[in-house]
Amino acid sequence: MGQAAEVSGVSNYAGTEEADPKKIRMVIGASSVGTVFEWYDFFIWGTLTASGILQRSFFPPGDEMLATLLAWATFAVGFAFRPLGAILFGYLGDRMGRKYTFLVTITLMGVATAGIGLIPSYATIGVAAPLLIILLRVAQGLALGGEYGGAAIYVAEHSPPGKAGFYTSFIQASVVGGFILSLAVVLMFKAMVSDADWTAWGWRMPFLFSILLLAVSLWMRLKLSESPVFKAMKEAGETTANPFKESFTYPGNLKRLFVAMFGIAAGLTVIWYTAMFSVLAFLSGPMRIDPTTAQLLAAAGALFGLVFYIATGAISDRIGRKKPIVIGYALTLLLLFPLFWLIGHAAGNGAGAPAGETFVPDAGSIALMMAAILGLMALSGLTYGSVAALLAEMFPPRIRYSSMSIPYHFGTGYFGGFLPLISAYVVAETGDPYSGLWYTWAVVAMALVVTVLWLPDRPSEELD
């Protein structure tokens, strides 16, 4: 098969297997549930950091702001190693297959997450505590670098013509599902123990809960067969000897990698993390809203916001992948600050609580905050819902796992993963709780320019 012929849609081996609706539902279900659990494992650190518990457990006492910055820096470490995981597991996925690669990634993630729950506190073992945490966050980053691309490609390569956007949107929604699950599990375990026990040891239970999630994920994914596209490539002798090298030498691929990293991954990820973690940190931090109330608000907003991801994926099958992303970027530049101002106005800019205390807002304020959070979720859905299909279509099957994973995880790992740390630092330096949003705004502006100029409506055909 010639190279030029390969870049033309999700599957160039269409028809190798009949599209069995029952099998497709199983593919989507197992891939999505596993993705929810894997992102749960990765996000549970951020969820508990936003509530303030981990900085008191694993970092030196005495300076709350420094401990918070160190906790967010540790969160960012996992993102920093996602690109390396993308290179490693992308190589294995293009050489050995999609299925077994993401079985390895989910196992590594589950074990690393449970390990965090077993690390003694800083008060017990001193600086060894954060060092061990960093090692486990590295393992999580490596695992996540291989998970997303594998799950997204696996579903895309099972999708019948004209359905890839809709079917892969469930993978996109699963990322939000991991965030929701992390909040739900935290709230569940908090309700089971006293405040004192939660602070002392209860916060460890969400990490240990990962062992159960890992068992369910492996049980479901072991039932899956290999991707029909990969099986057909292997039978035809079309797999590549070095997918990493070929990702940078394949005709036209450097441009695809550039657009995928700076136009797609960078923009969507800063919107996503702003809509999720920045909202949560903003509510429970500067706005001084009761942490449990803040978590419930963020979880409810994310849950109701899932519809935007599925709808965008389905719409992109009819109008193309580019239009929703461009519209979402443009609207983000216009609405980002007003939506956060609305949240701040509804919360009274933290004035509802005495100094050093938190408060629970009234029903009217909660309604306003929910409206703003749903607005942010809509922006995230527009820019993220169709991206799995878009990225799968951008790259040829023989190097798809590597070529999709590398720019995605470099873009999301560095632009998005460091967002909480950068935003927290900017806010600490300026004293303005809204100043951290300028980082999101600047990255989205860059992504909008790249997308408008260099992402055609049909990238799989026109970027070659």
Cβ atoms of 325 and 264 closer than 8 Å: yes
Q: Nearest Cα to 419, choosing from 280, 258, 283, 301? A: 280
Q: Count CB-CB contacts under 10 A for residue 312.
A: 28
Name the residue with tokens 């999101």: 440
User: What are 79's two structure tokens?
Assistant: 């993102």
pLDDT value at 7 more than 70: no
Q: What residues have CB less than 8 Å from 394, skipping those under 6 apart? A: 7, 256, 259, 260, 403, 404, 459, 460, 463
Residue 27, pLDDT score = 85
Has residue 464 got a pLDDT over 50?
A: no
Hey, which of 170-174, 203-207, 274-278, 373-377 has the most confident mean pLDDT? Answer: 373-377
Check residues 457 and 402 and name the one with the higher pLDDT: 402
pTM, two decimal places: 0.85
Is the per-residue pLDDT at 254 higher than 60? Answer: yes
pLDDT of 463 reads 33
Q: What is the pLDDT of residue 19?
A: 57
Mean pLDDT within 174-183 = 89
Q: Measuring CA to CA, which residue among 455, 98, 456 is closest to residue 243?
A: 98
Structure tokens at 310: 């599925």
> Would you place residue 6 in the very low, low, confident or very high pLDDT band (cuts 50, 70, 90)?
very low
Q: What is the average per-residue pLDDT within 227-246? A: 82
3-state secondary structure of 289: strand
133 pLDDT exceeds 70?
yes
* Stated length of the chain: 464
Handedness of CA 326, 331, 332, 334 (dihedral sign): positive
In sequence order, the 6+-apart residues with CB closer than 8 A to the CB of 380 are 176, 268, 271, 272, 275, 276, 305, 308, 309, 328
How confident is the model at residue 353, as a pLDDT?
65
For the stretch 265-304, pLDDT in tens is 999 999 999 998 899 889 988 899 998 899 899 999 999 9
CA dist 39 and 156 (Å) reads 19
Distance CA 113, CA 128 (A): 17
- From the list 85, 112, 108, 107, the residue with the least C-alpha distance to 218 is 107
Select, from the ranges 60-69, 88-97, 129-138, 329-338, the one with the highest average predicted confidence (pLDDT).
329-338
- pLDDT on residue 226: 74
Q: What is the mean pLDDT of residues 25-33?
A: 85
Closest CA to 169 of 318, 311, 375: 311
- Single out the residue of 131, 170, 236 nearest to residue 29, CA to CA: 170
Amino acid at 67: A
Question: What is the token pair recorded at 428?
Answer: 């600490």
Q: Of 22, 398, 41, 16, which is closest to residue 224 (Cα–Cα)?
A: 22
